[in-house]
Structure formats: structure tokens, C-alpha cells
Amino acid sequence: MGILNRISTIAKSNINAMLDAAEDPAKMLDQLIRDMRDGITQSRTEVAKMIADEKELQASAERSQQLADEWQRKAELALQKGAEDLAREALHRKIDYANNAKVYHDQWVAQHQAVEKAKADLHELEEKYESAVRNREALLARHRRAQAQQQVAKVSAAMNAFDPTSQLGRMEERIRLEEARAQATAELEHDTTEDRFAQLTQDSAVEEELLKLKTKISAPPQIAGPSEPTTESEPSEPPKTD
């Protein structure tokens, strides 16, 4: 009964808990199924021995009862023939065999109850084994689904702790800073010596045009005469020196 109890304990254990603790649930479940199959084989052998013992006890009880009945008849025959001493001896043997028959019968009753219990436990083991074989893929699928749900929960928790608005704001600020740096670098690259001289030339031309405009605006208007227009006398040439 020791092996039967041990296998029954294994079969009644929580398979889902074992799968959760296993590094490889498929291998763990396959090993469990093999252990159950081996246990059932051993249990069948043990139950078969128990049944054989039961039958032996039953046969011994029946044999002892038959001998008791036989010595009962012999005692009656001896008494009928007037052999009282022989009848008395036959009754002694009859009582011994009757007592043996009762002992064997009591042992048979106990053994029969144990056999019936062992048969029920074996049948339960066989049903659990067949259920484990049928539900192997379903159990593995449940395990994979549970792992996936745990992973989704972890990712969801991480996303809840993550603030996308602040992250995007920091990223936008960083991009603006990089753009400003790029623009400054481009302006520095164009701020060369030639550019500065060109700017100076352009500024001089602007000042010259501005002076002309001022002179034109501030000069008094010229009034033309009735005859021919007046002309300004040409300046005399400076005296020549030897």
C-alpha cells in the first residue's frame, strides 16, 4: 500500500502550481505523466498480489470449514457406533478446524476490504492519468496564456509609470536647441572677411546715395529767364608756373 499511497499523493497534487514552478512546463508535465504511468504499473502489480492473498485466505477459510464439517460427520458416525471416545476426538478436531475457518474468514474480510479500497484508488489514478494525457496541451496553453498575461501586466505597469507628455516635451526642447545650434553654425560659416568687406562697400554706396538725396532736397529750385537760360561761368584756369 506504500507505493499506492505515494502515487495517489502525486496524482492529487496541484498540477498548475507545479507548472508555475517549473523551468520547462512541458518537460515537467511529461515527467509527471511518466511517473503516474510507472506508478500505475506498480500499483497494478501490488493490487494483483493483494487479490491473490485474498483468494488464498478465502480458499483456506473454505478448506478449514470443509474439514470442520467433515469431522462433525465423523463425530456423529462414531457416536452412532458407540465409540464415544472417538467421537469426542473428532469433535476436538472439528472445533480446531472451525476456529481456523473463522480466523481465515476474518482475515479474508479484512483483505477483501483492502482490495476493494486499492482497486478504487487504482481506478482513480488511472482516471487522473488519462485526464493528464488528454489535457496536456490544454494545461500548457493555460500556462503560456498566464505567462503572456503577466508580461502584458508588466508592460502596462511600466507604461503607466511612463509620462509620454513630459518625454515628448523634453525631446521637442532638445530638437529646438539643436536647430538653433545648427542655425548659429551656418551664420558663422557665412560671416567671412570677404562678406565683411562686401558689407562695407554696400554701406558706402548707400551713404553716397543718401548724401545725393539730401543735397537734391536741400538745393533751392532754379527759375528759368525769358530769353536763354543762364549758364554758370566756367572757372578760370589756375596760372601756370614754370
pLDDT higher than 90, residue 62: yes
pLDDT band at 109; cut points 50, 70, 90: very high
pLDDT higher than 70, residue 31: yes
Whole-angstrom Cα distance, residue 60 to residue 201?
A: 137
Contact in structure between 112 and 50 (CB atoms under 8 Å)? no
Summarised one tens digit per residue, pLDDT across range 44-54 is 999 999 999 99
Higher pLDDT, 26 or 64: 64
3-state helix, strand, coil in the chain (%, to 5): 85, 0, 15
Q: What percentage of the chain exceeds 90 in pLDDT?
A: 30
What residues contact 47, with CB distance under 8 A and at least 6 apart? 4, 115, 118, 119, 122
pLDDT band at 209; cut points 50, 70, 90: confident
Higher pLDDT, 159 or 149: 149
The domain spans of the chain are 2-161, 164-213
Backbone torsions φ then ψ of 14, nearest 5 degrees: -80, 110
Mean pLDDT value of segment 116-128: 90
pLDDT band at 24; cut points 50, 70, 90: confident
pLDDT the model gives residue 183: 78
pLDDT higher than 80, residue 196: no
pLDDT the model gives residue 205: 73
Q: What percentage of the chain exceeds 70 in pLDDT?
A: 67
pLDDT the model gives residue 150: 76
pLDDT the model gives residue 148: 79
pLDDT higher than 70, residue 234: no
Question: Is the pTM above the cut of 0.85?
Answer: no
The overall average pLDDT reported for the chain is 77
